[in-house]
Amino acid sequence: MTDFNPSQLARMDSTRLATYRTNLDFYQGSQWPTTSRHRQLVFNYAKVSVDKVTSFLMRGLTFACYPGEGTDELKARARRAEQLLRQVYEENNLQQLDYETEIDAAVLGDGCYKVIWDTDEKRIRITAPDVSGIYAWWLGDDTSRVWRVASRYTLTQDEVQLLYPSVGRIEKKAATITELWTAKTFDLFLDSDLMESKPNPYGFIPFVIFPNLREPKKFWGSSDIPSLVQPQRELNRALSQLSRILELSGNPIAVLENIASAEDIKVQPGALWTIPEDAKAYLLDLLQGGGVRLHVDYIDLLYRALHDISETPRAAWGGIEKELSGTALQIELGSLIQKVTRKRTIRTNAYHQRNDIILKLAEKYISENFEQINHRVVWGTILPQDAARQAQNEQLLVQAGVHSRRTAMDEMGVQDPDEEFNKWLEERTRILEMNQEFRAASTRGGARERATAAEMEVPD
């Protein structure tokens, strides 16, 4: 039993939740600070940049397990652990879920996974709760020691009855559910009423909360959006202004001087104007003097600033003006590689925690044993052209005895190194057998030819 009251969550983290909403609105295209009756164009470079970086980030994510020692039993156990991780990955469609969660984390600033045992389907279930409904408590100044997590979400009448039949049908159309987790207890609230309180069935908090980018001394992370706000808004303003200038140039303004009143003065092909002798009439040319060139140059400057600030060079979009070698292209994309590497450093720990929870749940509910089994996260190459060079490097490392063939296959992203190596051994054995059969057949054929030649010889 706890003295926790769900109503206190409404007063917690108000600044964080407001920042979430602001960043999400900007990502979705609400980028003008005020509305106007004039044209307000939005070229949502912020959204495209976030999506682009996430695509590079999630290339080739796999997992590898290793036995603590070299016994056959531990090797079989490590193999089973890898198979289980792949099975959970496929059953929960984690390739799509991870990508969507990474987009969410990049926009909002934080991400979250929930890993539980589904008692109905008898399998491990992984979801990505809305991080705006997640609240965390940590011990003192150590943000890595989370001792309590609250998850808040809304359910309709039918959903409450389906998930919690013991509650019965509620009178309201919707209710707020709050799950309160510690390592020892689990409390479930319906609005402000405690529905259930029991010991934690897992013995640990089944949430993995991680930041998009870590801010020093802070638990919650930072979004990719704030740094793009000013250049994105200025780009929208400059392009909208240029668009209006071009529109007015296509529909020129008539300027009349020394005319008291103007009637039936229309700008159209073949129009004739009758004006007094000392009056002037002409069309206002907004494009004279190279004014448009100044606008275009300024837009190009903003465009370059957006590339620099978002750390996604033009080469990441395929805009290479000249052919570059592999090394030169890697230097060109250096800022993108550094940004992806920073994010992968944080994600490695998050995915490692998630795999830890998966293996613990398997030990508890599927009677598995993964003691003395180590596992790690293996990332694919950031740039597509890295694969050939990496294969050459791995070949040299294996030949020099720096690491094993299995480790090389893990680094190359092979899903099941042991199975792949067994297939290679089978193919090699078959090829050797075929070569032996071919040599034997060639030997027999040569003997027959020599015998035939000897029979055909005529003695002197």
Q: What is the pLDDT of residues 330-378, one digit of tens each?
A: 788 889 999 999 999 999 999 999 999 999 999 999 988 898 889 989 8
Residue 269 lies in a domain: yes
- CA gap 8, 82 in Å, rounded: 42
String of b and e for 262-274 (b: at least 16 CB within 10 Å)? eeeeeeeeeeeee
Residue 281 lies in a domain: yes
Q: What is the per-residue pLDDT for 250?
A: 57
Query: 185: closest CA among 366, 4, 367?
Result: 4
Residue 316 lies in a domain: yes
Q: Which residues pair with 176 in a beta bridge?
A: 154
Q: Give the mean model confidence (pLDDT) for residues 144-160.
A: 91
Residue 332 lies in a domain: yes
Residue 262 lies in a domain: yes
pLDDT in tens, 83-96: 999 999 999 999 99
- CA gap 339, 57 in Å, rounded: 9
Compare 259 and 94 and report the one with higher pLDDT. Answer: 94
Find the range with the poorest average confidence among 112-121, 239-248, 412-421, 423-432: 412-421
71 alpha carbon, distance to own chain's centre: 38
- CA gap 95, 110 in Å, rounded: 19
- Evaluate if residue 270 carries a pLDDT over 60: no
Residue 277 lies in a domain: yes
Compare 431 and 388 and report the one with higher pLDDT. Answer: 431
Residue 222 lies in a domain: no
Q: Which backbone phi and psi does 278 adopt, to 5 degrees?
A: -90, 10
Q: Is there a contact between 64 and 385 (Cβ–Cβ < 8 Å)?
A: no
The count of domains in the chain is 1
Domain extent, residue 307, equals: 227-337
Q: 324: burial class by Cβ within 10 Å (0-12, 13-18, 19+)?
A: middle
Residue 256 lies in a domain: yes
Q: Which two tokens stand for residue 113?
A: 């996974």
Neighbours of 311 (CB within 10 A): 20
pLDDT in tens, 93-107: 999 999 999 999 999
Compare 406 and 433 and report the one with higher pLDDT. Answer: 433
Confidence of residue 397 (pLDDT cuts 50, 70, 90): confident
Q: What is the per-residue pLDDT for 453?
A: 63
CB proximity list for 95: less than 8 A, separation 6 or greater: 89
Q: Is there a contact between 176 and 191 (Cβ–Cβ < 8 Å)?
A: yes
